Amino acid sequence: MGFRLTPQDPTFFDLYAASAAQLVQGAEVLTTLLGAEPAERPEILRRMHEIEAAADDAMHDIVRKVHGSFVTPFDRTDMHGLAVALDQCVDLMEAAVDLIVIYRVHPLLPRVSKQVEIIARMAHVTADAMPRMRSMKTLNGYQVEITRLENRANKQYRKMLGALVEDPKADPLTVMKHKDVITALEATANGFEQVALKVEAISVRES
């Protein structure tokens, strides 16, 4: 990043860190859901809704700060886009939890736990990266790791799709339910990649 003639407001980075913290909490709820009994699921879903509402609040805090500040660390459009992308990740996790609970999918496909493990890792890596946006030079490893994890998630998704198609005993309704769940998880992994791409674009423009 080059020399700046304008001051930076560190509050922005704290707000992004707070937003990313919701990703970690959402991933923890998603992980908890995997080992929960059907009777425990509605309470887990309620907790996920709370996290999603907190993520919305965090996004709006960033947007208000961007619109209310005379000087921002990065381009306003980039800052708004990153805030929305972080919130979208939580929305996608909530959608996956919603489907598992509403469809009453039990048990889940065996590889779902591996997919959720990857998502949880992506959440932690992203949360760790947000405070470090003060110096874009420290973020190269973040983008590489997210890309690696997203590739792993894609492979898990394709393997699960293949398992669904190859099972001759699965009825169409069960296949549809499982497919919707694993597609929601795949969309979540893609959402984290979109966050990393937003950060990468900011890094390129600020270098």
pTM above 0.75? yes
Q: How many residues does the chain have?
A: 207
Is pLDDT larger for residue 18 or for residue 135? Answer: 18
* Domain presence at residue 29: yes
Which residues span the domain enclosing 128?
11-206
Domain count, the chain: 1
**21-50 mean pLDDT:** 96
**Is 3 inside any structural domain?**
no
Provide the sign of the torsion angle of the four alpha carbons 110, 116, 118, 121, taken in this order.
negative
Is 2 among the domain residues? no
In a domain, 1, yes or no: no
Residue 102 lies in a domain: yes
CA distance 55 to 124: 16
Instruction: Tell me what the mean pLDDT of segment 102-107 comes to.
Output: 93
Local structure of 139: helix, strand or coil:
coil
What pLDDT digit, counting tens, does each position of 152-171 carry?
Answer: 999 999 999 999 988 888 78
Residue 117 vs residues 123, 169, 192: alpha-carbon distances, Å: 10, 28, 14
Q: Would 202 be classed as within a structural domain?
A: yes
pLDDT at 185 over 70: yes
pLDDT for residue 136 is more than 90: no
User: What CATH code is carried by the domain that includes residue 198?
Assistant: 1.20.58.220
In a domain, 6, yes or no: no
Domain-embedded: residue 4: no
